[in-house]
A and B are shown apart, each in its own frame.
Chain A
């Protein structure tokens, strides 16, 4: 059962550099993405910076308007209308990367976490404090009375992220986009937050889109993983399948570069080096966007790779890949 679906989703940002106001060039942040997120799952979205994963996350939440394509949430197409109604708004939320910046420094924790409750009328004035304390307990900030009247800067990074999560689950959402939720936290704290998120997913039945550039984190959290490159999804597979037998050359390359704790294994690894510079999302290469850096193409330059964009095709049990030479 799909909760969120993207069909041919595209987002282009106009380039506006100082003098040449007539520059028609665009940044193709997201360029024709088809994606299905199943109810209850945690889908990972990985890729380098600039590949469009954050933009995709914001598109799915309709925090920005798509240039073309559609977004289906719980069966309803939400891509068209100018603004989303509050009913839909409260069922989809976001967890941001920098917990300090995503909390208003001049508001108390009570005010911050109660905001969704107030906006959507989910509690009466006198119930607010009680409900907020319940939420704080859910994110393991106990005793909650110590937190409600304090300001974000009085807490550590891990605690702030818990507050962010408390706010995100306050309106009872079904879908949460978590954009690098642990990247700015200390390593020791990361595991705790990830555990919390996992627990909440089970307890509340929340579906996550887990965006990260950290492959090891994604592996521990997600059931399925999608890999993005330059605005397109290049591979999508169940997690162990992706990490065990990746098919797309880009996936292989980034997996091989992930640090491995076992020194023996690490020495015997073969790291795939990508040649060339990362291309710009303003003028992507023709055909398959990866081909100028692709080891497959370097050894076997098929003309199709340079001229035709490979479609995202199924190659096995729920495993999709976009590569002419992968099958």
Chain B
């Protein structure tokens, strides 16, 4: 057997072990199903949406759910169901990318802080504290109003305001893992700092980071939809937040825009939170197995 075959087999074995553990948490499986469901809806929107979401007057404005329009029509007579389908893309995209971005920053800051300690740690922790104090929602309002309202910009600003939580977490992990004998063993073998940080400590710190990141996606989606609700979303795309913003203006005339769209957001974020919980249980097995 070649090394390559062996390592592929190893990866398969790890994956199936992981799934076996993950399955044990029913809520986690439900969460995964919910997330996959909405991601699929968003991806397949062009294929499954019955109408063009931008096209006005395909239905009577504010008409309630019916056979032709499963979720009714909005204030311009546009099909709401198609809007909800297409509207999944922006929150999921922004949520995932922004969470990834801030996790990355958090890992860099937290690892540097926790591994090297000393003055670097003090300085970075001060900065982290400062960022934690700043009310990010309002900062985002200011930043988006002043600059621009595109999705990429949104990913960027949410990313650079969201890292302190992850940084603290990563720092904590590094501080404790740093003292473990296997790290000392690596040092005694002569491993470089880079090796120790990335190949010894970080893989062991990943479980809480991953859980944190997946919970972060949920939080970011709520944040993004909130900003869009305020009218700060990208006006050129369909997004759940935009739909809800319009729904708010015309809320006396129709409840369905609000209810269906909000439900979609709720179920997606719920799914992400359950997923995070499930990951938490699945990735920390050693405590149970031993």
- Is there any pair of Cβ atoms, one from A and one from B, under 8 angstroms apart in the complex? yes
Q: Which residues of A contact B (CB under 8 A)?
A: 61, 63, 84, 86, 89-90, 92-94, 96-98, 101-108, 115-116, 119-120, 126, 129, 148-149, 153, 164, 167, 171
Chain A residues in 8 Å Cβ range of B6? 148-149
CB of A89 within 8 A of CB of B181, answer no
Given A98-B181, A104-B200, A90 and B190 touching (CB < 8 A)?
A: yes
Q: From DSSP, what is the main secondary structure of chain B's interface residues?
A: helix
Provide a sorted-by-A list of 30 A–B residue pairs whose CB atoms are within 8 angstroms: A61-B188, A63-B184, A63-B187, A89-B188, A90-B190, A92-B188, A94-B184, A94-B185, A94-B188, A96-B184, A98-B181, A101-B180, A101-B181, A102-B182, A102-B184, A102-B185, A104-B200, A104-B203, A105-B182, A105-B286, A106-B203, A106-B204, A107-B203, A115-B186, A116-B190, A119-B189, A119-B190, A148-B6, A153-B289, A171-B189
Residues of B within 8 A of A61 (CB): 188
Q: Are B190 and A96 in contact (CB under 8 A)?
A: no
**Do the beta carbons of B204 and A104 come within 8 Å of each other?**
yes
> B: which residues have CB within 8 A of A?
3, 6-7, 9-10, 180-182, 184-192, 195, 200, 203-204, 286, 289-290
Q: A102-B184, A153-B289 are in contact. List 6 more A-B contacts (CB 8 A).
A: A90-B189, A98-B181, A104-B186, A106-B203, A119-B191, A126-B3
How far is A13 from B152 in the complex, measured between Cα atoms in Å?
A: 51
A93 and B289 contacting across the interface, CB-CB below 8 Å: no
Residues of A within 8 A of B195 (CB): 119
Smallest distance from the beta carbon of B177 to chain A beta carbons, Å? 10
Q: Are A96 and B10 in contact (CB under 8 A)?
A: no
Considering residues B184, B203, B286, B289, which has the most beta carbons from chain A within 10 angstroms of its beta carbon? B184
| Distance, CA A102 to CA B189, complexed state (A) | 12
A149 / chain B contacts, CB cutoff of 8 Å: 6-7, 9-10
Min C-beta distance of A170 to chain B, whole Å:
8
Closest 8 CB pairs of A and B: A89-B190, A102-B181, A101-B181, A106-B203, A104-B182, A96-B181, A116-B189, A94-B188
Bound form: Cα–Cα A126–B2 in Å: 10
A103 to B181, CA, bound (A): 8
- On whether A153 and B191 interact (CB within 8 A), knowing A102-B182, A108-B10, the answer reads no
B204 touches A63 (CB 8 A): no
A101-B10 contact given A63-B188, A94-B188, A153-B286, CB 8 Å threshold: no
Chain B residues contacting A102 (CB-CB under 8 Å) are: 181-182, 184-185
Q: Is the CB of B190 within 8 A of A86?
A: yes
Q: How far is B191's CA from A120's CA once the two chains are assembled, in angstroms?
A: 9
* Closest residue of B by beta carbon distance from A61: B188
Which of A86, A90, A101, A164 is packed against the most chain B CB atoms within 10 Å?
A: A101
Can you name the residue of chain B whose Cβ is closest to the Cβ of A152? Answer: B182
Which of chain A's residues has its CB closest to B203's CB? Answer: A106
Instruction: Write the chain A residue with the least CB distance to B202.
Output: A106
CA distance A93 to B184 in the complex (A): 11
Q: How far is the CA of A101 from the CA of B183 in the complex (A)?
A: 9
B203 touches A93 (CB 8 A): no
Interface centre among A119, A148, A167 (most CB of B within 10 A): A119
Which of B185, B191, B192 interacts with A96 by CB under 8 Å?
A: B185
C-alpha spacing A148/B10, complex, angstroms: 11
Residue numbers in B under 8 Å from A108 (CB-CB): 10
Q: What's the least CB distance linking B8 to chain A, in Å?
A: 11
* Residues in A whose Cβ lies below 8 Å from that of B190: 84, 86, 89-90, 116, 119-120
A164–B3 Cα gap in the complex (Å)?
22
Q: Which residue of B lies closest to A93 (CB)?
A: B188
In chain A, what residue has the closest Cβ to B207? A106
In the complex the two chains form, what is the Cα distance from A84 to B187 in whole Å? 11
User: How far is A102 from B184 in the complex, measured between Cα atoms in Å?
Assistant: 8
Question: What residues of chain A lie closer than 8 Å to B188, measured between beta carbons?
Answer: 61, 63, 89, 92-94
B7, B182, B204 pick with most chain A CB within 10 angstroms: B182
Q: Using Cβ atoms and an 8 Å threshold, which residues of chain B touch A90?
A: 189-190
Counting chain B CB atoms within 10 Å of each CB, which of A89, A93, A102 scores highest? A102
